[in-house]
Amino acid sequence: MIGYTANVIYWKSAASTYLYGSDIIFQQNGDVDFKNSLMSPGKAINTWYSQTNYQAKRFSPQLPILKKGKKYRILLKAYSFPEATIYLRIDFYDRTNKVMKQISVKKMEELFKPPEGAYYYTISLLNAGCSRLKFRYLVLSPVEFPSARNTEVFISKVYNAQASNELNIVLGEPSLNICTVPRAEASFPFKNCIFIQSMVSNEKMYTREVTVKRIETLSKGFKKIIIRGCGPLSNPSARRYAQLLRGRGILANESIGDSDSKKIAAPLFDRSTDLTVF
């Protein structure tokens, strides 16, 4: 295992959504706009399940399996109006469908640990006086996964550091539901290798100005930079990245879909490790 994986959980349908008086728009990028000025505080706006009866619910589980005894991080990416008028509640159930434990998550990001004997769990987004909100996603990850509270693009340390003028930048292929970052002790074949991974499935995240500036800072002292793409979303970003850096006077070339990049991308970016999608 060379990476830590987070599950990115979207609000994909209204199958478990509070509908009475609600105006709901599901955007193409995965965001959801929700409005309801009549909804009472304390009610669940939407609920996600780790286990469902498809014949009864008509939808599949949306939450990953959690490991016993392990600590997890949950992050809510949403904006409510008025501010701070939504929160999360995690309910853990035993085999008889009785609630064993409830955890209220009233901050944007918190840590929690599943109780012993929990059979399945749900996560509910609750109304605390909200009239409208923009929901982006939830992030559920092992505690070792870095916080995504203030970023949607992770830039690693320099792996396999050597006395060389060459820097290799590997752009991970964005995935719709998972994000994987390498462990600190991981080792890879490229000299002076940096990994960049987007939390969301949007190649434009890689070429945001703040990301480019961070890469420019890391690139100082290197005479040659190779930007490596790993798939259909990251390959165009590698080309744009190389053009951006060349435009700023940095010698940069792109390497699109080469066998070494794919070899690294397969175990690191495409497979869940510490969390498993149900």
- Over the stretch 75-122, which tens digit does the pLDDT of each residue have? 999 999 999 999 999 999 999 999 999 999 999 999 999 999 999 999
Report how far residue 164's alpha carbon sits from residue 220's, in angstroms, rounded to the nearest whole number.
Answer: 12
Per-residue pLDDT, 138: 97
Higher pLDDT: 199 or 54? It is 199
Per-residue pLDDT, 271: 39
Hey, where are the domains in the chain? Answer: 3-142, 153-269
Confidence band of 145 (pLDDT split at 50, 70, 90): very high
Per-residue pLDDT, 236: 85
* CATH fold for the domain made of 153-269: Dna Topoisomerase Vi A Subunit; Chain: A, domain 2 (3.40.1360)
Q: Of 138-142, 198-202, 270-274, where does the model show the most confidence?
A: 138-142
Confidence band of 27 (pLDDT split at 50, 70, 90): very high
Tell me the CATH number of domain 3-142, given options 3.40.1350, 3.30.450, 2.60.120, 2.40.160.
2.60.120
Instruction: Kindly state the average pLDDT of the residues 239-260.
Output: 72
Position 147, amino acid = S
Per-residue pLDDT, 48: 96
- Over the stretch 185-205, which tens digit does the pLDDT of each residue have? 777 788 899 989 988 877 677
Please, what is the average pLDDT of the chain? 85
Per-residue pLDDT, 267: 44
Per-residue pLDDT, 56: 56
**Above 70 in pLDDT, residue 269?**
no
Per-residue pLDDT, 133: 97
Q: What percentage of the chain reaches a pLDDT higher than 70?
A: 87
**Above 90 in pLDDT, residue 211?**
no
**Above 50 in pLDDT, residue 276?**
no
Confidence band of 13 (pLDDT split at 50, 70, 90): very high
Taking phi first (over 0 means left), then psi (-120 to 50 degrees means alpha), and beta for anything else, what does residue 192 get? left
Per-residue pLDDT, 55: 55
- Over the stretch 164-183, which tens digit does the pLDDT of each residue have? 889 999 988 888 788 888 88
Confidence band of 244 (pLDDT split at 50, 70, 90): confident
Per-residue pLDDT, 53: 65
